[in-house]
Chain A
Amino acid sequence: MKAISFHFMPYADLPADFTETSRSVWVDIDPKLYDPVKGHAMYRDYLDELELAAEVGFHGVAVNEHHANGYGLMPSPNLMASTLARTTRDAAIVVLGNSLALYNPPLRVAEEFAMLDVLSGGRLVAGFPVGTPMDTCYAYGVDPATLRDRYNEAHDLIMAAWTRDEPFTFNGHYTKLRQVNCWPRPLQQPHPPIWIPGGGSVETWQWCAEQQYVYCYLSYYGWKLGLTQMRGFWNHVKELGLDPNPYRSGFAQFIAVADSEQEALDLYREPAEYFYRRCLHVHGGYAEPPGYKTEATVRAGVASQVEMAAKGGPGETTKAKAGSKSALGDLTFEKMVDAGYILIGSPTQVAEKLHHVATQLNCGHMMLLGHFGNMSKELCSYNLRMFGEKVLPEVQGLFDDQWEDLWWPQHAVGGTRHVPAPDGARARR
């Protein structure tokens, strides 16, 4: 199993009355709430934390893209990845990722990811999310009806740009280029591993399985809810006759480790409540612009609503999925722990839980959020060190006696296909 330290880089100083005074943490969050001086300190701390994660043994560090978002301060994850490529030595640089439809032309993604791959000496994981409705449709104004069409076309352009060995013409509906010629070329050949972060779209399961890309389920609601989603993906893998290699998948999970369970509960309550109450305070009107969901997903949703109606109404998890104020306002720390949103406890407890979760999900790439909410650098460092020193040794061998990780960067630590980084890249560090 690979442990990847994932960081959202939240703004950690949202006011206590944020949920009463603001409509949403995303899209229309008040710009006056952002203090760039504090923001400077946060970026510094967050990069320190990711670098520490690499030092204490995490196999990779992960960043992602959000726009106009108070809990994700990385409109350009590539800028952060660029820094981490220089300050880490062996860890995979997992960029989860670039929302392809937002780049014009999308060739820019091929170029910047190639730069990162070369800069890092072949340690890049290239993430291709469709992107959330808040990021793509509201903050960046993309028509939800054409978002996936744009995404698919951008994907085809990027893959061709990386793999074709001569300049070529690209004649798409949205992008037309007389000469496509990606310089630099990716160090990993034919291209870096491709991971697709998804939120439960039926087509994404099928597409990832068909393309043999890694499917990453990014939910804030823990492994119990994620189990249904991951089963959907694994069903498609099975239908295609592919092996159930756990490294075909990734899963995001909050972790909180301390010397004892009680200490963990005491230490991590506040940042967890900050995250779930303030950071997930998303206006419901931004959740589902018409056209964002595919028809197949609508059909799946209709079916499940019919089922729920038969059982007396939609359940709490459905409300929570929509990030609705009413659902999250009632969410207690105890519920977060009980429902598995956070794997919390002593090192032994977290190791057991993580082993269980990874096994249940059949997931080889665990993207672990050791920082959440307004967690201080000191507490996050403690969490990461405890995990690296006491939890990781207990779980990292999972799956490796049976499966090879074919989706890991060639020059990152822990890869079974590991190839030493180019001499030139090493010598300069």
Chain B
Amino acid sequence: MIGVQRCGSGPAVGYLHGPFGNPGIHPFLEALGGHVSVVAPSLPNFQGSEPRTLRSLHEWLVATSETLEAAGLVGVPLIAASTGAMLACELLAIRPDVTSRLVLLSPLGLWNDDDPVHDIWSERTPRQAAWWLRHPARAARFLEDPPGLGADGLMEREVSRYRCRTAAASLMWPLPDHGLAERIARVRVPVSVIWGAEDRLMGSSYRDRWAVSLPDHAGTTVIDDAGHLVEWDQPERTAAAAVDALSLVHG
């Protein structure tokens, strides 16, 4: 069982989520839906999808492949964020038919000893949001509990959040580097990169490294006033930049 969020109309575009998953139709999906028909599946352990023990990158890639197949996204242009961007690139390196056009939002997956990705999982939980986001309060209303939930509902929300965090941390543990640098040359489709100008998680050295590592780098767009999860901080501008990169403006 996989959870899928859908919105908008026009040409289909897939969205492979990052560490927050897809808690409903969040502002980025809504903004994207103003241009295209968005299909946003949840990976195992994220909202709406079944819990599953994933022990290795290999098992994660099988799960990612199955998720995209189940959502009807094989061959469809794909926007992938953070941990999801890492998985999309890893999958493309071994399965070139997954997509013909890719947009990466603040992709994880490369490593620079001189500029390590921040160890966000060593931050106290309440402080982590400030490492993901430039504007934590904007995202909070979509991530926090809606009013009126009973004790059972609150508990299920808490467990669901814990599962998402566990899965996101698992992909990044102990380092968000599974060896993609050795395989990135196999990612041969055109790839655009969108980056938050105020990403605290990763330094700008990574932005430069992605640009030179991708065999068919189709450009990097920097979004001002945005942190690592650029699509949460600036949903409208990120959606517009992504659609522009895909050259799929509808209407």
Most buried by A among B54, B125, B167: B125
Report A272-315 residues with CB < 8 Å from chain B CB. 283-286, 288-291, 293, 295, 298-299, 302-303, 306
Asked if A146 lies at the interface with its beta carbon under 8 angstroms from chain B, I say: yes
A302 and B158 contact, CB distance less than 8 A: yes
Asked if A174 lies at the interface with its beta carbon under 8 angstroms from chain B, I say: yes
A290 and B166 contact, CB distance less than 8 A: yes
Complex CA–CA separation, A143 to B127 (angstroms): 21
Interface residues on B, range: 20 to 34
B174 and A143 contact, CB distance less than 8 A: yes
A288 and B151 contact, CB distance less than 8 A: no
Asked if A145 lies at the interface with its beta carbon under 8 angstroms from chain B, I say: yes
Most buried by B among A146, A149, A293: A146
B165 and A290 contact, CB distance less than 8 A: yes
Chain A residues with CB below 8 A from B165, complex form: 290-291
Chain B residues with CB below 8 A from A295, complex form: 159, 162-163
B155 and A137 contact, CB distance less than 8 A: no
Mask of B170-196 contacts with A, CB within 8 angstroms, 1/0: 100110000000000000000000000
B120 to chain A, nearest CB (A): 9
A302 and B169 contact, CB distance less than 8 A: no
Complex CA–CA separation, A290 to B158 (angstroms): 12
Partner of B53, one of A149, A284, A302: A149
Known contacts A173-B55, A285-B123, A295-B162; is-contact A306 B151 (Cβ 8 Å): yes
A238 to chain B, nearest CB (A): 25
Complex CA–CA separation, A290 to B169 (angstroms): 7
Report B85-103 residues with CB < 8 Å from chain A CB. none
Chain B residues with CB below 8 A from A288, complex form: 125
Known contacts A149-B55, A290-B121; is-contact A303 B166 (Cβ 8 Å): no
Asked if A144 lies at the interface with its beta carbon under 8 angstroms from chain B, I say: yes
Complex CA–CA separation, A289 to B123 (angstroms): 10
Complex CA–CA separation, A290 to B124 (angstroms): 11
Asked if A233 lies at the interface with its beta carbon under 8 angstroms from chain B, I say: no
Asked if B168 lies at the interface with its beta carbon under 8 angstroms from chain A, I say: yes
B170 and A145 contact, CB distance less than 8 A: yes
For A303, give the chain B residue with the smallest CB separation: B155
Partner of B158, one of A27, A146, A298: A298
Complex CA–CA separation, A141 to B169 (angstroms): 12
A72 to chain B, nearest CB (A): 19
Asked if A254 lies at the interface with its beta carbon under 8 angstroms from chain B, I say: no
Report B148-164 residues with CB < 8 Å from chain A CB. 151, 154-155, 158-159, 162-163
Chain B residues with CB below 8 A from A149, complex form: 53, 55
Chain B residues with CB below 8 A from A195, complex form: none
B173 and A141 contact, CB distance less than 8 A: yes
Asked if B247 lies at the interface with its beta carbon under 8 angstroms from chain A, I say: no
A143 and B123 contact, CB distance less than 8 A: no
B170 and A143 contact, CB distance less than 8 A: yes
Most buried by B among A173, A290, A298: A290
Asked if A71 lies at the interface with its beta carbon under 8 angstroms from chain B, I say: no
For A292, give the chain B residue with the smallest CB separation: B166
For A288, give the chain B residue with the smallest CB separation: B125
Complex CA–CA separation, A174 to B55 (angstroms): 9
For A286, give the chain B residue with the smallest CB separation: B122
Interface residues on A, range: 20 to 34
Complex CA–CA separation, A285 to B124 (angstroms): 4
* Total A-B pairs, Cβ < 8 A: 69
Most buried by A among B54, B121, B174: B121
Partner of B168, one of A146, A290, A303: A290
Chain B residues with CB below 8 A from A27, complex form: 122
Partner of B167, one of A142, A145, A289: A145
Complex CA–CA separation, A146 to B59 (angstroms): 13
A141 and B170 contact, CB distance less than 8 A: no
Asked if A223 lies at the interface with its beta carbon under 8 angstroms from chain B, I say: no
A137 and B173 contact, CB distance less than 8 A: yes
Asked if A138 lies at the interface with its beta carbon under 8 angstroms from chain B, I say: yes
A285 and B122 contact, CB distance less than 8 A: yes
B43 to chain A, nearest CB (A): 13
A290 and B162 contact, CB distance less than 8 A: yes
A284 and B124 contact, CB distance less than 8 A: yes
Mask of A172-185 contacts with B, CB within 8 angstroms, 1/0: 01100000000000
Report B52-93 residues with CB < 8 Å from chain A CB. 53-55
Complex CA–CA separation, A146 to B54 (angstroms): 8
Partner of A146, one of B55, B124, B151, B155: B55
B44 to chain A, nearest CB (A): 11
For B157, give the chain A residue with the smallest CB separation: A302
A289 and B55 contact, CB distance less than 8 A: no
A281 to chain B, nearest CB (A): 15
B124 and A141 contact, CB distance less than 8 A: no
Known contacts A145-B167, A295-B162; is-contact A302 B154 (Cβ 8 Å): yes
Chain B residues with CB below 8 A from A298, complex form: 158-159, 162
Chain A residues with CB below 8 A from B174, complex form: 137, 141, 143
Chain A residues with CB below 8 A from B173, complex form: 137, 141-145, 289
A291 and B159 contact, CB distance less than 8 A: no
A254 to chain B, nearest CB (A): 28
B170 and A291 contact, CB distance less than 8 A: yes
A358 to chain B, nearest CB (A): 36
Partner of A302, one of B54, B127, B155, B167: B155
Mask of A55-67 contacts with B, CB within 8 angstroms, 1/0: 0000000000000
A157 to chain B, nearest CB (A): 16
Report A187-224 residues with CB < 8 Å from chain B CB. none
Chain B residues with CB below 8 A from A291, complex form: 165-166, 169-170
Binding site for A on B (CB under 8 A): 53-55, 121-125, 127, 151, 154-155, 158-159, 162-163, 165-170, 173-174
* A-B residue pairs in contact (CB < 8 Å), sample of 6: A145-B53, A286-B122, A290-B166, A291-B169, A291-B170, A302-B154
9 A-B pairs with least C-beta separation = A291-B166, A141-B174, A290-B165, A145-B170, A143-B173, A290-B166, A290-B169, A285-B122, A284-B124
Identify 15 new A-B residue pairs, CB closer than 8 A, beyond the known A138-B122, A284-B124, A290-B168. Answer: A137-B173, A141-B174, A142-B173, A143-B170, A144-B170, A144-B173, A145-B167, A145-B169, A173-B55, A289-B121, A290-B166, A291-B166, A299-B159, A302-B155, A302-B159
